[in-house]
A and B are shown apart, each in its own frame.
Chain A
Amino acid sequence: MLRHTADRIPAVLRRPFVQRLSAIAVIAVIAIVIPAFFPSTYYYRVAALVFVFAIAAIGLNLLMGFAGQVSLGHAGFMGIGAYAVAIGPTHFNIPSWLSFLIGAALSAFVAFIVGRPILRLKGHYLAVATLGFGLLLAIVFVNEARLTGGPDGMLVPRPVLFGWSVRGTETWYWIAAISFVFGAALAANLIDSPTGRALRAIHDSEVAARVLGVDVAKQKLVIFIISAVYASVAGSYLAAFNGHITPDVSGFLRSIELVAMVVLGGIGSIAGSLVGAALLVMLPQVLTFLHDYEQMVLGLVVMGVMIFLRAGIVPSIAAALSRRRA
C-alpha cells in the first residue's frame, strides 16, 4: 500500500488520506486481536519485540526508502535511547519519561551533527560515517563503566508514570503496539507531505530534484534526524522492557540487523518494516529445533528472500498479486 517506485507515485498521491492509512488500520486491528491467541506471556514478549524493532525499522526505512541513504550505525541511536532511560533515572534522578525525551533529543542532535556535513556529499559517505559512529558509541558504552556498567551492562529502573509503575510483558506489548501504530501513521503522513514528496524526488534523481528547487541536503538531514529519533524511541522501549541493558544494543550486528529488516520487508514499505522485523525476531525462535544449523538456515532464508523476492517481501508479493488481478 505504501510502496513508492517511480511509476506508482502518481497513484499514491491521488489516494485519499483514509485509504493511505488503511494498511495501518489493518495492522492495528491485528495487534488488538492477536493476543487472544497467545497461550503465554512468552508470545507477548516476542510480539512486543517485533513491534519495538519495527519502530526502529520504520525510521531506517524512511531514510533508506525515501532519501536513498543507508545508515550502518542506526543501532547507535538505539543505544542512546536505551542508555538514556537507564542512566537518567539511575545516576541523575531524572524521571524515566523525561530521560526518554532527553534520549530522543540527544539522538536528534547527534544525527544533526553527524549528518550535516556528510549529507552534502553524494554516495555512500553517510553509510561509512554512521558505521564509524555506531562503533564509537559501542566503545563509549563499554568504557564509561562508571556510568554504563561497562560490558556487563546495567539495570534499567522501571519507569513510573503518574505513580504507576510500568511493568509486565503484556503492558509492554500494548505500549509497543500502540507506539508502532502511531509511528507508522506518522511515517505514512510524512511520506505524503511536501517533505515526503521532495524526498521521493531526491530518491529518483537528485539533479532533477535540485532543478525543481528542492534543498536536497536539508531534506536528507531532516529525514536522517527523524529516523534517528525513531531508533532512539525503540532503544528506550527495549531497555525499559528488558530491565537490563548491555552495549550490544548499539553493536554493529544490531545495525546490520536493522538494515536487513528494512531490506527483507521491502524498502519504502512501512508494512514491510513490520514484516521484516517480525521475520528477524521470530525466525531465531522458530528455528531453534535445528540446533547447530540454525544460523545457516537463517542465512539461507534471508538469501532466498533476496533472490526470489528482490524488492522485499511486501512489495514483491503485492506486485505479484496485483499482476494476477490485472
Chain B
Amino acid sequence: MMQKYMKIAAASIFAACLAVGSASAQVKIGAILSVTGPASFLGDPEKKTLEMYVADINAKGGVNGKKLELVVYDDGGKPNEALTFAKRLVDEDKITAMVGGSTTGVTLAIIPIFEEAQIPFISLAGAIQIIQPVRKWVFKTPHTDTMACEKIFADLKRRNLTKVALISGTAAFGKSMRDQCVAVAPKAGITVVHEESYGPGDTDMTPQLTNIKGKAGVQAVINTDFGQGPAIVTRNYQQLGIKLPFYQSHGVASKQYINLAGPAAEGVRLPAAALLVADKLSANDKQKPVVEAYKKTYEQKSGQPVSTFGGHAYDGLMILVEAAKRAGSWDKAKVRDEIEKTKGFVGTGGIVNMSPTDHLGLDLTAFRMLEIKKGDWTLVSDSGS
C-alpha cells in the first residue's frame, strides 16, 4: 500500500518536470556543455563565453529583430546525459540552433537527434569524425589534431627534415593525435622511423628517449600528449643532451608547460592557435583585432585567463549569428544554408571558409608555429626556418 503512495509521489515528481519551458518571442539557442566533470576545462570557458556574448548581442538589439535566449545544460561530460538534454532542447525548449558539445564523445552521441530534428548544430569538439563524412546539419569550429600534425610536418619540411621519431602518451589525446600523425605522415613526405610511448602518470621517460637517441637517422622528435607528461619528456630530453629539433603538440600550448619544463623548454616548437599569442601577432594579421578583442572581453568579464576552448564557442556563436543575419530570418533551413556559405569569417580559431564538402572551413593558417625562447612564445615565420 505504501508503495502505491510512493508511486504517486514519484509520479508527481515526474509531473514537476512537465512544468518546464515557456513560450516566448525570443529565438532559443541551445548549448549542451560539459561545465562540470572531467571535461570542465572545456565546458566552463565555453559557457562563460556564450553567456557574455549573447548578453552583448541582446544589448545591441538582438538579431533579425529577435533577442537570443541561451538554454545551457550541463552534461557533466557524460554522453548519456547529453542525449537526454538534446532530446529536451528539441522537444521541450524547441530551439532554433545549437552551439555546443564540448567533447567528441558527447557530440557524436547527440548528432542523430539534431540531424533528425533538422536543427543547425555547431559543435565545439575536436575530432574530424564530426564533419567527416559531412552531415547536412552539423558543423564545427575547432581545428583538428590532424591539422596540428600537418602543421608540424610542414615546418619540418621547411627545415629539410623528413625522418622523425614519435613519443606519445597513451591517454586519449596523445594516442589519438599519434594515430593521426602516423596516418598523414606519408602524404606529407615524412617518415616515422621510430615510436615510443608512455602511460599517463609516468614520471620518467628517460628509457624511451634513450632508445630514440640511439636510433640512427632520426632528424627530429615529436611528442604528442598534453598535461604534465610533455613537461617531463622535455626535461628528460635536455638531461640526455639530445640536440635534435623537438616538437610538442598544441595540447601543451599554455604558460603552464613553460613553467613546468623550465629552461629545458628553450627551442621547443609547437603549433598553437593565434589566440594564445594575441599580443605577438603582427599588426597586419587579420585575426589580430578579433583575438585581442575576445581576449580582453573574456579576461575582463570572467577574471580568468583566456583559453582557446572559449574561443571555439565564440566562433560558433558568431558564425551562427552572421549566418542568421545573411539569411534575414531564423528559419532553420535558411540559417543552415547560410552557415555552409560562411566565407572569410575571421574567428579566434582562424579564418573560416565553409563549403558543402567542408563543414569546418579552416586551413593550416589557423595554427601558428611557435618557438619557446627565453621562457616565452615567439612566432616562427612561415617562410623562414
Which A residues are within 8 Å of any B CB, using their own CB?
1, 23, 26-27, 30, 34, 37, 39-43, 45-47, 49, 142-143, 145, 150-153, 155, 169, 238, 242-246, 248-249, 271, 274-275, 278-279, 282, 284-286, 288-289, 291, 294-295, 313-314, 317-318, 321-322
Contact = CB atoms under 8 A, between A and B. Distances in A.
B161 to A, nearest CB: 29
A271 B7 CA distance: 9
Interface residues on B, range: 35 or more
Nearest to A2: B3
A153 B109 contact: yes
A152 B90 CA distance: 23
A22 to B, nearest CB: 8
Contact of A285 (B3, B9, B72, B88): B88
B2 A286 contact: no
Interface string B90-114: 1110000000000111001100100
Contacts of A145: 175, 179
Contacts of B92: 40, 42
Nearest to B104: A152
Interface of B is mostly: helix
Interface in B51-105: 72-74, 77-81, 83-84, 87-88, 90-92, 103-105
A39 B18 CA distance: 8
Nearest to A23: B3
A323 B1 CA distance: 13
A150 B172 contact: yes
Given A152-B103, A278-B13, 18 more contacts: A37-B15, A40-B92, A42-B91, A42-B92, A46-B84, A153-B109, A242-B79, A248-B79, A271-B6, A274-B10, A278-B14, A282-B13, A282-B17, A284-B81, A314-B3, A317-B9, A318-B2, A318-B3
B87 A169 contact: yes
A242 B16 contact: no
A244 B108 contact: yes
Contacts of B6: 271, 275, 313-314, 317-318
Interface of B: 1-7, 9-11, 13-18, 20, 36, 72-74, 77-81, 83-84, 87-88, 90-92, 103-105, 108-109, 112, 127, 129, 170, 172, 175-176, 179
Contacts of B109: 153, 242-244, 246
Highest count of chain B CB atoms <10 Å: which of A26, A42, A275, A289 = A42
Nearest to A43: B17
A141 to B, nearest CB: 12
Contacts of B36: 295
Given A46-B84, A49-B84, A151-B172, A286 B13 contact: yes
A117 to B, nearest CB: 28
Contact of B11 (A34, A151, A295): A34
B121 to A, nearest CB: 15
Contacts of A153: 79, 105, 108-109
B10 A286 contact: no
Contacts of B83: 45, 242, 244
A246 B105 contact: yes
Contacts of B129: 152
Pairs of residues from A and B, 9 with the lowest C-beta to C-beta distance, nearest first: A318-B2, A40-B91, A42-B91, A151-B172, A244-B109, A246-B105, A23-B3, A152-B104, A42-B87
Contacts of B80: 49, 238, 242, 248-249
